[in-house]
Structure 1
C-alpha cells in the first residue's frame, strides 16, 4: 500500500533552498514569526511557540473558531534567547478551548498569517485515531541529507536521496490528513554534525565559524519543518523529548564539549525552544525565563524541577499527556537516571559529555515515572505508550544503563509499546521483558512491544546492522537494514487493537505492519 500514491514530487513540496553554510535570511520585520511550534497542553489548552529576530515585550496570539473571527487573545512575558542564537523564542498558552476542535490563530506581527490547529481529544474518547512517530530527523538539502554522493569514514553506510524521493518532512506534510499529531523522541537537526561536514568538505567555512554554522543548521531544520506544516499541511502538535544530538555542539566528538561556546552546551537550544512549550510546565510559578548568558540553563531547569514538586514532571525532558484512549509517557534517556546510575550524557556516562542532571534531586525522573504510570486509569486510557531516545533492545549500541533504570517500571506498570530511535535504521522487536521474548507474541502479551526507528534521515545517513543474520537472537522480528528512510504510523483502532506501520518516506510504501491485541 502506498500512502503517497498518485502524489508527485511537486515544487510546492520541495524544501526551501539555502546557500551552503549561509544562515537563513533575516526578515525586514524583525517580529516576523519563524520556526513555529505547537504542543498540546491538555484537551482545553494549546501552546504556541515561535522565534523572532528581536525580543518581544509581550508575545501575543489572537485566536478563534473561525478565520474571520479571531478576537480572543493570549499573551505572555516569555521571549528568551541565548548567546549564540540569532533569535528569541516566544511561547504563549491558549486556554479555555473546546476539546478536539479546530481553531484559527494569528501571531501578533505586521508580517504574520493565519494558521490553524486542532485541540487534543479528551482522555476517555475511544474514537479511533492515528498518530505519526519520527525519530532522528535532521536537515534536508544542500547542508544535510540530499542527492549528493559522499563517503563518510566511520559510518557503516551513507545513503543519499535519489532524485524524486520525498524526504520524511515532505512525506509527513503530504499525508498530514492521515494522522492527528506527531511524536518525536529525540535528535533534531543534527546541527552538531557541523564539524564532520566541514572536515569532509561537504560544507564551506572554517572551524572558527563553528558556532554560526551550528545555529544556521538548527535554523534551517526548524524553518523547513514549520514552513511545510504551516503552509501545506495545517499545523500539527509536535510532542518531543531529548536525544543525544541536542546536548551540545559536538556530542562526543573531538575536541569535545569543553570547546563548545556557552549557548551550545547542556541542551541549551532545546530547553530554550521547548521547555515552556511542552505540557505541565510550571512557568506561572517561575515567571520570566532568564537569558542564558552564563550557563544558566542548568540553574533554570533545577528551579523548574523544584517548582514541579507535585508531579515531578520536567518538560521537555520527562512528562506525560493523554490523548483519547492513550496515555503517553515521554522520558529522558540522556540524563537523570536516578539510583546512582550514570546517564549517557552526564559526566562519566560514556558519551564524553558533561550535561545535566536537571532534577532537583537524584531520583526525580524515576519517581515521576513511577507515580505517573501507577496513576493511569485503564478504563479511561487503556493504551500506554512510552517514548524515549536510546533503546536497550536493538541489534547494536544497546543502552544497558537505560534498561537498568527504566525497564523494571515499564514492565511493572504494563506499558504496551516502547518507542525509540538513536540507531539509524528500522527494527520491530516482539514483546520483551528482562531479555526474554513473551511467548504470547502480539496476542495479549504482558511485556512491552519495542520499536526502533532512527531512519527519518539526516546528514550521517543510515546504519547497517552489525549481525543481520542473528536478528532473532535480539528479539528482532522485522528490520529494514539501512536502505530506506521512514517513519511510523500508530493506528489506535479500539481499546484492544493497535496497528503499527513502518512507512517509507520516499514513496509512501507501507514496509511492515503488525496489529497488537491487548485485553485491557
Structure 2
C-alpha cells in the first residue's frame, strides 16, 4: 500500500513537472513571437521635437526622432499654418545606434529653416509623408542688437524628479523666453536603459523645446560612449559637434563650452586643446572694440564650476584647484579663469552642484566688487552663477558649514534662473524657487558702463 502511494505521488510530480515545463516553453514561444512582432512594428511618428538657433538667430534648426526609417525629413511652416500657403523645407537624417547591449537604433532628423523674417511668429509641423507631428509655433528674435532678450537658465534636470519642468512649461507657453539654456546633465542619464531614459526625457521637454530654441552644453552625465547620445540628439550652431559654440542675442555674445574635456581625457587630449584654442579665438574676436560696441556683454556657460560652496566634491573644498579654473594638474595648462579674465567675460554660468549660488565678482579667490555700496556696478572681475537645481534623482546638495567670503547668496531650493539683458549697460537676474511656488528668492542687477579686459 505504501509503495502504491509513493508511486502515485511520483507520477503526479512528473505530470506537474511536465505541465510546468510545457507552460514555460509556451511562454517562451509567446515572448519570441512578441519580439518578432515588435520587429515588424513601424514607428514613423515624429517625437522628441526640439529647436535650436542655426548660424544666425533667423536660422532655426528643427530636430526630431523616429524609430523607423522614413527616408524623409520635412518641415512644413507658415505664419498661419491653416490659412497660408505652407513653405516646405527638406533636411537630413542620421541613424543613431546607442552603445548599450541592445544597440537600440533611431533616426534623428534635422531641418534648418533659413533666413526667416525677424520678430515673426511661425507655425510648423515636422515629419514625412508617413507621419507628421502636431503643429507647434515659435517666434524669431528681432533683427539687430538693440533689443532685450529674456532667457531661462539651469542645469541638472532629470527624467525623474524634474521638479522645475512644469513651471518652465507654463512660462514657455506664456511666451516669457526667447531661448532656454540647459547647462549640462540631462535625463540622468540619456544612455540609461539602452537610451530609453534619454528618449523619455526628450519627450518630456518637448513642450518647452519645441517652442523656443533649447541651447545646451555637455555635463559629466553625458559622458557614456564618448558623449554619443548628447552629440546625436542636439544640433547646435557652429562647428557641428555641439561641444562648444557661440551665438549672439541682442547685446549679448553667449559662449558654450565643455568642462568635461578636462576630466575625460581617456577620449584623447585633442578635444581639450582644440576647445581652448577655439575659446581664445572666439573671445578675442568678441572682445574687439568694434564688437564690444555692438554686443557689450560676454556670457559663458559650462557645466562644472570653478568655485563652489560645498564640501562633497573633491574639487570644491577650497583646498584643491579645479581643473577648469587652474588647468590640468601640475602642468597648469589650459586654465580658463585667466583666459576669461583676459578677454573681459562679464558673467559665467555653471551647474553640476545641485543648488543655486551667486558669487561676488571674483578672480583668483579674491573678491573684486565695484564698490562696497554697489558690488555689481562696474565690477572688476567676472561674476559667476551656479544654477544646478532644476531637479533630478540625485536630490539636493548640502552647503558647507563654513561658507567662503566670495559666496554672496545661496539657496538649495529646486528652481531655475532668469536673465533679461535690458541693454548694453544693464543685466537683470532672478532666481525662481519651485519649492516656494515660483517665488523670486534672489534678484540683482549688473551694471557696466564700460566693457573689456579687466586691468
Q: Does 1:391 align with 2:410?
A: no
TM-score, normalised to structure 2, is 0.78
Structure 1 portions without partners, runs of 5+: 1-24, 147-166, 193-210, 249-264, 283-314, 336-342, 348-354
Structure 1 residue 519 displacement after superposition: 1.2
Structure 1 residue 363 displacement after superposition: 2.3
In structure 1, what is the equivalent of residue 79 of structure 2?
65
Larger helix fraction of residues: 2
Structure 1 residue 491 displacement after superposition: 1.5
In structure 2, what is the equivalent of residue 189 of structure 1?
187
In structure 2, what is the equivalent of residue 129 of structure 1?
149
Larger strand fraction of residues: 2
Structure 1 residue 394 displacement after superposition: 0.9
Contact 2:156–2:390 (Cα < 8 Å) also in 1: yes
Contact 2:46–2:66 (Cα < 8 Å) also in 1: yes
Structure 1 residue 108 displacement after superposition: 2.9
Structure 2 portions without partners, runs of 5+: 1-37, 327-334, 451-455
Q: Does 1:85 align with 2:104?
A: yes
CA distance in 1, matches of 2:276, 2:40: 44
Deviations 1:204-261 (A, max 9, x none): xxxxxxx7725221112111111x337xxx701100010000001xxxxxxxxxxxxx
In structure 1, what is the equivalent of residue 204 of structure 2?
224
Deviations 1:402-443 (A, max 9, x none): 002211111011111000000111111011112111031201
Q: How does 1:375-390 map to 2 (within 5 A)?
A: 375-376=285-286, 377-390=291-304
CA distance in 2, matches of 1:372, 1:62: 35
Moved over 4 A (4+): 25-29
TM-score, normalised to structure 1, is 0.69
In structure 2, what is the equivalent of residue 346 of structure 1?
265
Contact 1:26–1:53 (Cα < 8 Å) also in 2: no
> Please, which of 318, 326, 330 is the counterpart of residue 244 of structure 2?
318
CA distance in 2, matches of 1:243, 1:123: 32
CA distance in 2, matches of 1:168, 1:58: 35
Q: Aligned-residue CA RMSD in angstroms?
A: 2.2
User: In structure 1, the residue corresponding to 2:97 is in which secondary structure?
Assistant: coil
Q: Tell me how many residue pairs correspond in the alignment.
A: 378
CA 357–114 in structure 1, closer or farther in 2 if over 3 Å, else same: farther
In structure 2, what is the equivalent of residue 494 of structure 1?
423
In structure 1, what is the equivalent of residue 170 of structure 2?
174
CA distance in 2, matches of 1:503, 1:95: 34
In structure 1, what is the equivalent of residue 258 of structure 2?
332
Greater relative CO (CA pairs within 8 A, separation 6+): 1
In structure 2, what is the equivalent of residue 50 of structure 1?
64
In structure 1, what is the equivalent of residue 324 of structure 2?
402
Contact 2:104–2:194 (Cα < 8 Å) also in 1: no
In structure 2, what is the equivalent of residue 259 of structure 1?
none
Contact 2:429–2:445 (Cα < 8 Å) also in 1: yes
> Please, which of 216, 220, 239 is the counterpart of residue 215 of structure 2?
239
Structure 1 residue 43 displacement after superposition: 2.3
Contact 1:62–1:70 (Cα < 8 Å) also in 2: no
Moved more, 72-81 or 181-190: 72-81
Q: Does 1:145 align with 2:124?
A: no
Q: Does 1:508 align with 2:438?
A: yes
In structure 2, what is the equivalent of residue 207 of structure 1?
none
Contact 2:42–2:68 (Cα < 8 Å) also in 1: no
